């Protein structure tokens, strides 16, 4: 049985962790920044070392292609992303890229000839922090989002995704359009506490929760705080505070499998002696049950209207993004569980709370994911961590699955 | 009886409103910016037109001095500030400067010889938005704040007050130290709804509410929102939301004369798919009763500790600034009421919720204020407005008071 090179996997991950390293021990490599560009160039140079044919599409997605015996057969694909959250971690995304690279290194140095081509993919702007929404490039690739619309996504400074792709030299010629894929595997850290709590090494998600994003805008009335009596104020931040607590209470009130979060808030004019008149905040709702998540929003919207009315504020809500829950390919999931078992890795069949590029790819090709434990369940933070032996275990299972699938005719 | 020139007062105010004019009809002239510098230069050129001797002190405070018959007598002073809030209004501060200027123009063109010198003062950084705290320069002048400490105040970009004073050329040589003042009057818009509601033209505050500023820092735990169950989260923004509502509810719960406000909040990392781990917000408490305001903070702090504990968050609170309630000079207040009566202006003896440079000056010299109504009680916003006839009325009362006081031996 072939094994990936755990030492080399770690070394490559450590090199990647230096690109955009933060003083707090994490990584900040926001999408399409110079750090992102540097990471891409490192990855491409490694792809070339193992003789992959490197292609970049119109969305900046990078594909490193290794020929099979019969290139008319649809390829097996793996990969993830190299962008991070602000002050993010050293594993989210990049583990799936370097894990996949390590698989291709093993195939290369052992001269393994697969039946099918094998592709290592790096997806642009998965995180959605700099350019909302998340997973935008796999979304375009899967035909679920429009290319021109994606190009027009702007960051907080007004820079456009399309222009930034061009600036860093990653607006490729190849159409960002899916083609038949035989099987797609994405190796990723769990980003939650379940595997660690259950003391399992490998997680296999049956699918990804639905993901609904909303934007809420409140308008009250600004005034000097001193001479303005409490009665008759229209304080937009107080209205927002009530709403944020409603979001936080909702999952336990409604029961069922759901999380709801306000992660982002903008308060205006944000001066300590002026009553806030404008607040914008976001709502993120996720559940395995799409209808339940929609009901949750209706419930929240009703509360928001009452709160805004009671405080004499105007309310505007927007649906920014809705991705349905995705059931991954169960045959591939069974294969992963079986391969983990053969290596005596403990495993857990679970759900994924986080969105992944795999969610969009799953809509056009048989897809599954391999999770490894996140220490303390921490992710999207500088202290995000995963044991090296777990990274190695995940990459070994990925190796087994890719060899298996790419040999199938 | 002399009258100020209402048309000229309006014209001068309109010229000032163009310096830092906002598209929304307001003014943004943050302290020590190029707009502030332009405003200062306009004011100084007008001061010179009426032959005032212009001096600038180490804090950038500008003094336009008109000699009296006996310059050994302590002078009568008036004035206010020319900086504004972001997207602020056309009257806050500048009315007191231009109103005072108009008084000096009248003295000048009528060749009135006063016994005492008369000074028009323009105080640096009254608003406290760019550099916290507010009223910092009158505070230094009155000996209540340290000069070097004031120089070290930094804005959000890290620029220091002392360096910015130098940059715009307003770090003067004259020590920023008070000298004996016979009487000080500050004309100002009310910034609240009382005069309008009571249908009065002139307000005379018996004093200014105490003003207590606090900074609250909450630290929770950041995590990817999707895979992190609701139970066990340490969401700093939820903790902050509960605290903000406690602040808002407090005045009605405790009763008495008090306002309490959260105007400013900073949420980190402020990404829609990360549970917020750090929140900083401000608390502003004002009351006529200092002890009551201190009790209010103790009450709040207790609530904050409980809220932070319940959510597993760390809490740090800081006392940023405390100014005691200030009783103005009651002899001067009576004079203002009497002068208003002689002109058949309706008047109201009231309190001031807003802090003013007059609060610090009041600590070293007999001081009082003249308020004119704010339309709709709106202030610190672009729609801030006061009727021209009310501006004129206020300036006329100021004229009468200054002539009266400056003739006293």
Q: Do B272 and A286 touch (CB under 8 A)?
A: no
**CA-wise closest residue to A121 among A172, A79, A151:** A79
Q: Do B225 and A284 touch (CB under 8 A)?
A: yes
Q: How many residues does chain B have?
A: 409
A284 touches chain B (CB under 8 A): yes
Q: Do B192 and A242 touch (CB under 8 A)?
A: no
* Interatomic CA distance for residues A58 and B206, integer angstroms: 70
A220 touches chain B (CB under 8 A): no
Could you list the pLDDT tens digit for every one of the 409 residues in chain B? 899 999 999 999 999 999 999 999 999 999 999 999 999 999 999 999 999 999 999 999 999 999 999 999 999 999 999 999 999 999 999 999 999 999 999 999 999 999 999 999 999 999 999 998 999 999 999 999 999 999 999 998 899 999 999 999 999 999 999 999 999 999 999 999 999 999 999 999 999 999 999 999 999 999 999 989 999 999 999 999 999 999 999 999 998 789 999 999 999 999 999 999 999 999 999 999 999 999 999 999 999 999 999 999 999 999 998 988 989 999 999 999 999 999 999 999 999 888 899 999 999 999 999 999 999 999 999 999 999 999 999 999 999 999 999 999 9
Q: Name which of A84, A195, A241, A353 to mutate to probe chain B: the one with the most chain B Cβ atoms within 10 A of its Cβ.
A: A241
Give me the residue spans of the domains in chain A.
Answer: 6-209+325-407, 210-323
pLDDT digits (tens, 9 = 90+) for A306-330: 999 999 999 999 999 898 898 999 9
Q: Name which of B228, B282, B378 to mutate to probe chain A: the one with the most chain A Cβ atoms within 10 A of its Cβ.
A: B228
B86 touches chain A (CB under 8 A): yes
Q: Name which of B129, B226, B284 to mutate to probe chain A: the one with the most chain A Cβ atoms within 10 A of its Cβ.
A: B226
Q: Do B378 and A272 touch (CB under 8 A)?
A: no
* Interatomic CA distance for residues B375 and A41, integer angstroms: 61
Peptide bond preceding B269: is omega within 30 degrees of 0, i.e. cis? Answer: yes
Nearest by CB to residue B275, choosing from A225, A261, A282, is A261
Q: Do A193 and B245 touch (CB under 8 A)?
A: no
Pairing of strands B367-372, B183-189: parallel
Nearest by CB to residue B265, choosing from A132, A267, A377, is A267
Nearest by CB to residue B224, choosing from A221, A226, A354, is A354
Concatenated DSSP letters for A182-225?
SEEEEEEE--SSHHHHHT-SEEEEEEE-EEEEEEEEEE----BT
Separation in Å, CA of A2 to nearest CA in chain B: 32
Q: Name which of A81, A127, A261 to mutate to probe chain B: the one with the most chain B Cβ atoms within 10 A of its Cβ.
A: A261
| A6-209+325-407 maps to CATH 1.10.260.40 | no
Nearest by CB to residue B272, choosing from A87, A263, A272, is A263
**CA-wise closest residue to B340 among B200, B193, B131:** B200
B22 touches chain A (CB under 8 A): no
Q: Do B237 and A286 touch (CB under 8 A)?
A: no
Nearest by CB to residue A235, choosing from B221, B248, B352, is B248
Q: Name which of A22, A225, A267 to mutate to probe chain B: the one with the most chain B Cβ atoms within 10 A of its Cβ.
A: A225
B286, closest residue in chain A (CA to CA): A226
H helices, E strands: number in chain A: 12, 14
End-to-end CA distance of chain A: 21
Separation in Å, CA of B45 to nearest CA in chain A: 31
Burial class for A7, CB neighbours closer than 10 Å (0-12, 13-18, 19+) = exposed
CATH entry, B211-323, from 3.30.70.360, 3.30.420.40, 3.90.180.10, 3.40.309.10: 3.30.70.360
pLDDT digits (tens, 9 = 90+) for A206-265: 999 999 999 999 999 999 999 899 999 999 999 999 999 999 999 999 987 899 999 999
**Hey, which residues 130-159 in chain A have their CB within 8 Å of chain B?**
132, 134
* Interatomic CA distance for residues B15 and A240, integer angstroms: 39
A355 pLDDT above the threshold of 90: no
* Interatomic CA distance for residues B353 and B325, integer angstroms: 10
B276, closest residue in chain A (CA to CA): A263
Instruction: Enumerate the β-bridge partners of residue B166.
Output: none
Separation in Å, CA of A383 to nearest CA in chain B: 10
Buried-state track B122-149, b at ≥16 Cβ within 10 A, e below 16: bbbbbbbbbbbbbbbbbbbbbebbebee
Instruction: Enumerate the β-bridge partners of residue A88.
Output: A27
H-run or E-run covering B323: strand B314-323
H-run or E-run covering A268: strand A265-268
* Interatomic CA distance for residues B122 and B94, integer angstroms: 9
Q: Do A227 and B191 touch (CB under 8 A)?
A: yes
Q: Do B259 and A128 touch (CB under 8 A)?
A: no
Concatenated DSSP letters for A59-111?
T--EEEEE--S-TTSPPEEEEEE----TTB-SSTTHHHHHHHHHHHHHHHHTT
| B320: helix, strand or coil | strand
Residue B179 and residue B143 in contact, taking contact as beta carbons nearer than 8 Å:
no
Chain A residues in contact with B381 by the CB 8 A cut-off are: 222-223, 274, 277
Nearest by CB to residue A251, choosing from B226, B230, B284, is B230
Question: Whose structure tokens read 């038949």?
Answer: A180
**Hey, which residues 317-376 in chain A have their CB within 8 Å of chain B?**
352-355
Nearest by CB to residue A274, choosing from B222, B275, B380, is B380
Separation in Å, CA of B70 to nearest CA in chain A: 40
**Hey, which residues 194-213 in chain B have their CB within 8 Å of chain A?**
194, 209, 211, 213
Chain A residues in contact with B355 by the CB 8 A cut-off are: 226
CATH entry, A210-323, from 3.90.1010.10, 3.50.50.60, 3.20.20.140, 3.30.70.360: 3.30.70.360
pLDDT for B324 equals 87
Instruction: Enumerate the β-bridge partners of residue A207.
Output: A327
Tell me the count of A-B CB pairs closer than 8 A.
Answer: 231
Separation in Å, CA of A60 to nearest CA in chain B: 23
* Interatomic CA distance for residues B2 and A397, integer angstroms: 94
Structure tokens at B89: 């209004």
Residue B118 and residue B402 in contact, taking contact as beta carbons nearer than 8 Å:
yes
Chain B residues in contact with A92 by the CB 8 A cut-off are: 224
Buried-state track A65-96, b at ≥16 Cβ within 10 A, e below 16: bbebeeeebbbbbbbbbbbbbbbbbbbbbbbb
pLDDT for A323 equals 85
Nearest by CB to residue B237, choosing from A225, A260, A262, is A262
- CA A372-A375-A380 angle, to 5 degrees, is 85
The percent of residues above 70 in pLDDT, for chain A, comes to 100
Nearest by CB to residue B237, choosing from A211, A226, A265, is A265
Rg (CA), chain A: 23
């Amino acid at each position: 049985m072939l094994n990936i090179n755990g030492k080399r996997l770690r070394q490559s991950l450590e090199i990647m962790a230096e690109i955009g390293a933060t003083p707090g021990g994490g990584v900040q490599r926001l999408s399409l920044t110079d750090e992102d560009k540097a990471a891409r160039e490192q990855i491409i140079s490694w792809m070339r070392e193992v003789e992959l044919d490197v292609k970049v599409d119109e969305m900046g997605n990078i594909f490193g292609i290794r020929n099979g015996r019969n290139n008319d057969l649809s390829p097996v694909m793996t990969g993830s992303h190299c962008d991070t959250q602000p002050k993010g971690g050293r594993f989210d995304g990049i583990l799936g890229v370097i894990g996949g690279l390590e698989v291709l290194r093993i195939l290369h140095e052992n001269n393994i000839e697969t039946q099918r081509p094998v592709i290592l993919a790096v997806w642009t702007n998965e995180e959605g922090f700099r350019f909302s929404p998340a997973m935008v490039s796999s979304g375009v690739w899967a035909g679920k989002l429009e290319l021109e619309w994606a190009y027009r996504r702007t960051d907080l400074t007004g820079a456009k995704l399309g222009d930034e792709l061009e600036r860093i030299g990653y607006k490729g010629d190849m159409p960002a359009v899916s083609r038949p894929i035989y099987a797609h595997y994405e190796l990723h850290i769990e980003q939650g506490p379940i595997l660690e709590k259950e003391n399992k090494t490998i997680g296999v998600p049956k699918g990804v929760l639905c993901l609904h994003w909303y934007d809420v805008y409140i308008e009250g009335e600004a005034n000097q705080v001193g001479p303005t009596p409490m009665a008759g104020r229209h304080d937009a931040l107080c209205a927002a505070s009530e709403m944020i607590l409603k979001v936080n209470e909702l999952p336990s009130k409604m029961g069922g499998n759901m999380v709801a979060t306000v992660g982002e808030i903008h308060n205006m004019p944000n001066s300590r002696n002026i009553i806030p008149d404008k607040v914008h905040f976001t709502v993120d709702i996720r559940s395995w049950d799409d209808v339940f998540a929609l009901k949750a929003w209706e419930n929240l919207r009703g509360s928001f209207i009452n709160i805004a009315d009671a405080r004499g504020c105007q309310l505007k809500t927007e649906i920014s993004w809705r991705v349905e829950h995705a059931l991954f390919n169960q045959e591939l999931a069974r294969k992963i569980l079986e391969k983990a078992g053969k290596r005596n890795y403990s495993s857990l069949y679970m759900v994924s709370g986080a969105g992944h590029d795999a969610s969009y790819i799953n809509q056009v090709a048989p897809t599954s994911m391999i999770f490894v434990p996140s220490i303390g369940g921490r992710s999207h933070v500088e202290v995000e961590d995963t044991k090296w032996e777990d990274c190695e275990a995940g990459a070994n299972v990925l190796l087994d699955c890719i060899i298996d699938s790419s040999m199938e005719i």
